[in-house]
Each structure stands twice: as C-alpha cells, then as structure tokens.
Structure 1
Amino acid sequence: MQERVPVTSTARSGAKWGVVAVAALAALLLARPLGGIGMLVVLAAVLGIGLLAVNTPELSRPATVKNPDPLPAAKPRPVLSVRDRWQRGIEHHNQVLGAYGSFELDPKMLLQYPALWDLSAPQVIAFHDSLETAGELRSDEFPGEAMAEKYVAAVNELRSTWAAADRFARSTGTGALSADDARDCRRALKLLNHAESAENAERATYLQQVLGTVDRLAERGVVPRPDRARASLQTKIRRAIEA
C-alpha cells in the first residue's frame, strides 16, 4: 500500500490565506456602491472571518498505518529418531538413579526420609517395580527399534513413579515409623549434627554411634542395608581418628 504524503500546517495556512484574499477582492468590488466607509467595513469583516478560519485547528485525521509484516510461521520441532529417544532415555534413567542413590549414600537423607523404603506404600511399590523393569530393559548397545521403544516407555514410567515416591518420602518423613524407630532416627540425626561441629576423637565417637543406629534400623527393616551410607560413615570415622 502506498503511503500518503502528509500536508504540512504551513501549506494549509497558505491555502486559507489565498481564499481570504480572493474573498476580500470580491468584497471590494461589491462594496463600491457603498462608498469609502462601506468598503472599509466590508473589508474588515472579510479579513476578520479569514483570520478566524486560518487560526481554527483542523480536525486531526487518523494517520495511515501500514499493514504490519506477518509473523514468521513457527518452525516445527524436529522429530527424534528411535535411537535418539533411546539415548535420551538412558540419560533420564541415570538421573533417576542418581537422585535415588543420594538417599542411600547420605546418612542424613537415609534417616530423614525412611519412608522411601516403606514397601506398604503404593507409591514406593510402584517405583521399585518400574526401577526393576527399566533395569532389565537397559542395554549398552542400541537394541533395535522395538526393544528401544519398550525401554523408552519404561523409563518414562520410572520418572513418573520416582517423582511420586520422592514426594511421598519427603512429606512422610518418619511419620509412618513406630515410636521407637522414629526416636532412633531423630537421635541419630542429632548425633550427625553434633559430629559436624566436633573435632577429632569426639567427632569419631558421634559418628560411631550414628553407624550403630543405622545398622539397627537396617536389621529392623526400617531402611535397606546401607552399604553405601556405612562406607561413607566409616571413611569419616577413619579421617576423624587420624586427624
């Protein structure tokens, strides 16, 4: 669409004055029979009307707006191949294993959220079932499209059940334990906090008590056998003794 050239206020004023001049000349010709005084009166009236017309602002006209350029069409997302989705499934699988492993590796997590191993909870059962299924379908090499699709679906299920189990464990804490088991967890957590601010032999003593409590909780089935947590505690005890 072609843009209109705007008319300046100076051009509009010039045109108005031209009209006034023509009107004044016509008035003079018509006023001759009235004599000199009549001609002056008519001329003054015409000039007054002309000044009023020139100084009266025109109504603003809406500016002509060019049509905006259309937005570029959204590019479709590339469709991942089965191999790419299988590779991404391995990454997601590793993320879940890492998150779950932090509960087993860190004694504090183990003691704060023992509900993650409450096999009477549907969320926990579903997670452990999907963890086993995804582990059985996992392979080091691309297994072909059919098996890869099954593995990707299993990992998607694993991520969903892990999110539900994690929420359940964090919201439950030690609330589902017996009074004795919950008390042991709280006591071991306090000992861990004391150990963080203690030094050398005192620190080693606190950690030894935590290790004994964790072992008793494992024997009673409150938490799984904490091999990784025990190894972490034993390393800290050894370093405290040697310091």
Structure 2
Amino acid sequence: MAEFWTGLWQFAGSYWWLIFFIGPAIGGGAKALERSSKRRHQRRLEIIRAKAEAKGLLRAESPTAVDGARSASGAAADDTGEDLGTRARMQRLLEAHDGLTHRWLEYELDVAKLIAYPAMSDGRQPLTAAFLRAKKVADGLRPASERERITPADLAAYRDALTDAEVAFDVAEREARRLSDRGFSEPERRRLDTAKRLLNVAIDEAATPAERRTAYERVRAELDGLIAVSDEAMERLAERSALQLPPAAPN
C-alpha cells in the first residue's frame, strides 16, 4: 500500500500540469450534461403544464362533477333534463374535436405552412407521431352525433381522449415551430427558400397566368423528395393561384 501511494504522489508531481487540460474538460462535460438535463426537465414541465391547463378547461364538462353539483343542491333532475345536458356537453366536445381537426388540416393542406413547419406533417417526428396516435384514439371514441346515446363513462373517456389529443397537438406544434427547417441540409434549405419565393408568385394576382403556372409547377419540383405534399394540398394551392390556369402546352 505504501508503494502505491508513493507511486501516485510521484506521478502527480511529474504530471501536475495535466490538471489544466483535464479540469476544463471535466467541467465542460458536466456543464453540458447539466444543460441537457435542464432542457429535458423544462420540456417535461411544459407538457405537464399544457395538459393541466387543457384538462382544467374541460373539467366543468365532467358528468361526475355535474351530478355532484346537482346532488349537493338537492335538485332532482328528470330524464329529459339529463338528456339535454348530455347532448349539450357532447355538442361542445364535437365542436372542439372539429376545431382540432381543422387546425391539423391547416398544416396538411396549406403548402406555405408545410414549408415553414415541415415537422408537423412528418410522422417520423416523435411529438407529431404522439399527436397522430392521440387523435386516432379520440376519433375512435367520437360519437356519431350529439344525439347518440352514450354512458357517462364513455362520455368521460371521449372527453379525456380529446383533451390528450389537444395537448399533444399543442406540444407538437410548439416543437415544429422551434425546429422550423433545422432538420434539413444547407442545399435542402436553399430549395425550401426557393419554394417559398415561388409560392408567393403562384398566388400573386398581379402575376400573369403563365407566370403563376410556372411558379406552381416549380414549387412542386422544389419540394419533391423534401416534404410529402398531398395532392389535396397542391389542388388547394392551384385554387389559390387564380385558377383557372391555362392548360399546359403539349409536348
């Protein structure tokens, strides 16, 4: 043991200068780990906060809460009143569901948004995939109409699933806006910038029909292989481009 400590002190005495290289490296690594941990912690807090806020907005729709309030007040509810209350809650949930679908389709069908926030249409992005899964669950639990007979438990399950989908959308949207085009290489970013400029020409009423058609076709070409643009999105762009575009010249 004495030999070990003697050798250690001799090494330290001969290579004391290594402390100037090892120390900063260790410190830098520790700081990087600390920053990464803080980012993960902050993101978890954002998700928890968003979910709490969304559930707070819909808490008043809880059938249990409504029934409890009625019992506390001593009011006797007849079947007709309960049916009307359930239909009203279902109607509000269905409207919220339609609103969520509309917000999502704006990213799917608006080429400008597809270019600006490509992560929202990329199912490989974890948060976007989480939203799509949550929306699928909510879609599966959605009643056909507000007049459909549904148990309080089923209504609560649908409400909770819709809340989860809304929260997942908000989180995915914030992440997509943060990422923007960071997932693309420099040449790919230049193609996206070109597509943005051409998009402005395609919907410019001051441009000639020929200019709009050329810009429209070049937008499609620039995005090919970069972003999955649906035929519906291109049709919507065509409608915004004045459309009636002249027929393409025969080859």
The two structures have a TM-score, normalised by structure 2, of 0.57
Matched, 1:239 2:244: yes
Question: Over aligned residues, Cα RMSD in angstroms?
Answer: 2.5
Matched, 1:191 2:178: no
Matched, 1:203 2:209: no
Residue type matched to 1:79 in 2? V
Matched, 1:153 2:160: yes
Matched, 1:176 2:163: no
Q: How many correspondences in the alignment?
A: 161
Q: Which has the larger radius of gyration?
A: 1
Contact kept in structure 2, 1:86 and 1:149, CA below 8 Å:
no
Question: Percent sequence identity over matched residues?
Answer: 27
Partner SS for 2:246: helix
Partner SS for 2:66: coil
CA distance in structure 2 between the aligned counterparts of 1:106 and 1:119, rounded to whole angstroms: 17
Task: Give the CA deviation at 1:155.
Answer: 0.5
Identify which of 112, 119, 128 aligns with 2:132.
128
Partner SS for 1:241: coil
Matched, 1:79 2:46: no
Which sections of structure 1, spanning at least 5 residues, go unmatched?
1-76
CA distance in structure 1 between the aligned counterparts of 2:149 and 2:141, rounded to whole angstroms: 9
2:17 aligns with none
Name the structure, 1 or 2, with higher relative contact order (CA <8 Å, separation 6+).
2
Which sections of structure 2, spanning at least 5 residues, go unmatched?
1-59, 68-84
Task: Give the CA deviation at 1:91.
Answer: 1.0
Task: Give the CA deviation at 1:97.
Answer: 0.7
Moved over 6 A (4+): none
1:22 aligns with none
Relative distance call for 1:143 and 1:211 in structure 2 (3 A) is farther
Identify which of 196, 212, 217 aligns with 2:221.
212
Residue type matched to 2:246 in 1? I
